[in-house]
Structure 1
Amino acid sequence: MTTDIKEIMTRLKSHRLWIETIGEQGKKLGIDEIDLRNVDLSQYPLDQAYITACIFDGMELNHKDFSSSLLSSSTFISTNLEEADFCKSTVSYADFTNANLKAARLADSECIETVFVQADLSNTNLVAALFDETDFRNAIFKNADVRLATFERVLLKGAKLTGLRGLEEAFIKSINIGTPEEPDILVGEEAIEWLQEFI
């Protein structure tokens, strides 16, 4: 699907107006399969939007607000997202490979089959988030807060878990310390014990 930048800017302005007027004017943003790498998003809010299967790879989006947005299947490969806000957003099937998510907020977010391979999740707020079959291989979790977060069948091979906080309050159902092809699943208490060894 090709949508020119002019049209995207019009939609972004309309979404900004929709947020500023609490839905009285403008229109909620809904875009699908759009490459946003050449679009200057600095002046536009991206919260409460539908942004599916879009490309944000390599962009500078530090402090960007994506809260309460649907971002399924979008890609953020090698994107700078320091202190970005994904609170209450749906990022299932999204790809954050090698992304910088330091101090980002993913509280209450839904991450089903989301890819965080080699992502830097240092100091992130992952409180009450849902991680199901999420790929965290070689990700950095230094001082991340996982209170009330649910982890089920998540891939953790090579992940750096130093200083992980709130583990005793998290719901660790199962973790995969192997690979997708050759899984090595640890369940419940066994999974928690494995995690505690690395903190």
Structure 2
Amino acid sequence: MRNDMYNRFELHRNWVDTSGQEGEQLRLQDVDFREFDISDICLEQSFMASCTFEDLSLSNMDFHASLTDVDISEARFEGVLFYGVTLRNIKGIEEANVQSIHVGSDDKPIILKGQEARDWLRMKAEESI
């Protein structure tokens, strides 16, 4: 299972790097990311449902993705890119350790910290309902 998942991560990175010409877009359901080292994993433009990121350090990750029914309880966010993200039914926003998130584009960077970042995550998740 682990090797298969890392192969899927690599196929997705290839898909992103080639603008969909090669590889395969990542679509995951019911994955507990605590079982994997995701520090160098490309998750941008992926679709994830019912996954858990509970208690993980998500520093400098790109979450330009679709996240539905995911659990971020106790996860640590620092420098995480959320520009273009779709959030639905996110669990654990209040319990997450949100240091800073980037919600703007490269041209217009917007960095939110602490409670302001948490409020943005909550608002963005409610917007998608």
Higher helix share: 2
> Aligned residue for 1:97?
94
1:11 correspondence with 2:8: yes
- The match for 1:75 is 71
Where structure 2 has 5 or more consecutive residues not aligned to the other structure, the ranges are 106-112
Q: Which has the higher contact order (CA 8 A, sep 6+)?
A: 2
Asked whether 1:64 is paired with 2:61, we answer: yes
Question: Would the alpha carbon gap of residues 43 and 7 (structure 1) be closer, same or farther in structure 2, given more than 3 Å must change?
Answer: same
- TM-score, length-normalised on structure 2? 0.79
Bigger-Rg structure (1/2)? 1
Residues 106 and 126, structure 1, Cα contact 8 Å, conserved in 2: no
User: How many residues are paired up?
Assistant: 119
Q: What secondary structure is seen at the aligned counterpart in 2 of 1:31?
A: strand
For residue 42 of structure 1, report the CA deviation from its aligned partner: 1.3
Deviations 1:126-182 (Å, cap 9, x if unpaired)?
78x882785xxxxxxxxxxxxxxx7xxxxxxxxxxxxxxxxxxxxxxxxxxxxxxxx
2:17 paired with 1:20:
yes
Q: CA deviation at 1:122?
A: 4.5
Query: What is aligned with 1:144?
Result: none
Instruction: Read off the aligned partner of 1:131 and give its amino acid letter.
Output: M
Residue of structure 1 equivalent to 2:47: 50
SS of residue matched to 2:48: strand
Root-mean-square deviation over aligned CA pairs: 2.8
* Larger strand fraction of residues: 2
What is the identity, as a one-letter code, of the residue corresponding to 1:104?
I
Q: Segments of 4+ in structure 1 off by > 4 A?
A: none
Counterparts of 1:133 and 1:83, CA distance in 2: 19
| Unaligned stretches of 5+ residues in structure 1 | 109-119, 135-149, 151-199
Match of 1:30 among 13, 17, 27: 27
Indicate conservation of the 8 Å contact 1:76/1:97, yes or no: no
Q: State the partner residue of 1:86.
A: 82
Q: Partners of 2:68 and 2:14 in 1: how far apart?
A: 24
Read off the aligned partner of 1:88 and give its amino acid letter: G
Q: Post-superposition shift, 1:38?
A: 1.2
| CA shift in 2, pair 1:7/1:104, >3 Å | same
Contact preservation (8 Å) 1:101, 1:124: yes
